[in-house]
Amino acid sequence: MDGITQLVPRDRFLPLCPRETRVGQARRAGIEIEFGGLTEAEAAEVVSRTLGGKVREIAAHDLEVDTTGWGAVSICLDTAFRDKAGSALADLGLQLGRAVVPVEVVTPPLSPEQLPEADRLRGALRAAGAQGSREGMFLGFGLHLNPEIASPEAADLVPVVRAFALIEDWLRKADPIDPSRRLLPFVDPYPRSFVDRLAAAGRGWSRDDFVDAYLAETPTRNRGLDMLPCLAHLAGDRVAQALGPGADAVGARPTFHYRLPDCRIDEPGWRLAYEWNRWVMVERLAADTAALEGLAADWLDYRAALTTTRSDWFDHLDRVLCGLELWDGACGSDATTGR
């Protein structure tokens, strides 16, 4: 881990940026944790003991706990076989696949005050034997964060995607994701052509411009920041047209679906707050217009140079982000640009 990564707080959840939606409500976020080492029934019992509420079966390998404070928490075996459970072949596939197929705990949208409870649940699952991405080869378990968008307007969507695209290389390399997740297609990086378009024209895009560019360049769920659920919420017909039958698998919701982080639930020093705060760094960069515009210009210069390598961009990002202090600064116009 580099110096910046060591400075990212692990003991507290930094506030989203902005903290509230455009209608003045605190932004909420759902959390999805994938892991091995426990069956879905065992994981559901941990959820019940930790948060309160009774376990009930929705379907085979699909459970729910109606918790006293959060509402319904879903616990399931995260595989397409689950939908076909009951046939001999599907049940055999589920049993054989348990070594590499994760159990997934999915929370409802949580308020900022509820986030520490999510980390308490993480600790309880670890104590019960949950295993993370680096426990074995080909696991590829992830942590997915679903922060609510501030509004459906381009001004609240495009800068965040633009900021993520520009620093994705740093997020992926500063604390590298597990090799199994790099090899599998689930969190492929954005195409360089899409980053080029975001850097060159993203600031002036309308929402329609953004939808057009995203669906043209990256019409897939397999990205570190998957915007298809959000776009399905905002422009469902256009997503359905672009994806065809695959659109049925996209659950529409007004969130950023950040799926890059590993789940390292069995590692003593790992906390949900750490990965959450790395996402907050993206939002803080998005809110700092001067810093974001400077970084976009730097990207275009980097891409135009014939002698640069991919590591050159990472090194540049490391220097710029160190100056911005996004892990500990203010949000928006009060943030120091360091430029």
Tens digit of each residue's pLDDT (9 = 90 or more) over 218-276: 999 999 999 999 999 999 999 999 999 888 889 999 999 999 999 999 999 999 999 99
Q: What is the mean pLDDT of residues 100-118?
A: 94
Rounded distance, CA 13 to CA 177, Å?
A: 21
Angle subtended by helix axes 207-217 and 236-243, to nearest 10:
20
Q: What is the mean pLDDT of residues 194-201?
A: 96
What pairing do the DSSP bridges indicate for beta strands 62-67 and 71-77? antiparallel
For the cut 50, the answer to whether the pLDDT of residue 301 exceeds it is yes
Rounded distance, CA 258 to CA 90, Å?
A: 30
Contact 103, 40 (CB under 8 A): yes
What pairing do the DSSP bridges indicate for beta strands 55-59 and 62-67? antiparallel
Q: What is the mean pLDDT of residues 163-186?
A: 88
Q: Which of 79, 8, 47 is nearest to 321 (CA)?
A: 8
Task: Return the amino acid letter for 183.
Answer: L
Mean pLDDT of the chain: 89
| 77: CB partners within 8 A, 6+ apart | 40, 61, 62, 94, 98, 101, 102, 103, 104
Contact 265, 132 (CB under 8 A): yes
Q: Which of 134, 133, 109, 130 is nearest to 121 (CA)?
A: 130
User: Helix, strand or coil for residue 102?
Assistant: coil
Residue 269 is classified by DSSP as T
- CB count within 10 Å of CB 93 equals 18
How much of the chain exceeds pLDDT 90, in percent?
A: 76
Rounded distance, CA 50 to CA 27, Å?
A: 24
For the cut 80, the answer to whether the pLDDT of residue 112 exceeds it is yes
